[in-house]
Amino acid sequence: MVERTLVIIKPDAVRRGLIGEIISRFERVGLRIVAMKMIRLSKEEAAKFYPSSEEWLRSVGNKSLKSYAELGKDPKADLGTDDPVEIGKIIRGWLADYLSMGPIVVMVLEGNRAVEVVRKIVGATTPYSSPPGTIRGDYSVDSPELANLEKRALFNLVHASDSPREAEREIRFFFRDDEFVTY
């Protein structure tokens, strides 16, 4: 099934000169770039990209709480709370800081099962657990515990939509209909 997905090459990857390497990985598997641009978001614009629903905030907070539990650490000591929604709000702010700390490349990739294929190429959200051969596994070793200790988002180089439905929302955030090409 041919579908579209959004990929963001985040500021840490742009700063490290990884744009071409990242793009080439998608092109090598046969995905087509049908829209692309380099932009810089304000913190306010970046914050609007991330959902603010209680469900999303709770999900993000619960992921962080799981990481704390695995490490035997107290989230209250680091974050001042153990409420997953409140932790989600903190992390959403860190994500907005991260996405707005420098230029980003946003692109829409099109191809068979694009969402799933892109996520395999990108690797796990947590870079240190991404296998070699993935973008995050080859170019980053950041971890949730280091990010939380430094009160920042996890530096994981790229964003990839996690579902076709989310891809549609994210693509509309960055691109108008007249910005797509066919070839």
Residue with tokens 């989600």: 88
- Active-site residue, 159 included: yes
Residue 87 · residue 142 · CB < 8 Å:
no
Of 159, 160, 174, 175, the catalytic one is 159
Cross-strand bridge partners of residue 37: 106
Tell how far CA 117 is from the center of its chain. 15
Which parts of the chain fold into alpha helices (H)? 11-15, 19-28, 43-49, 54-71, 75-79, 84-99, 114-122, 135-139, 144-149, 164-174
Enzyme catalytic residues: 159
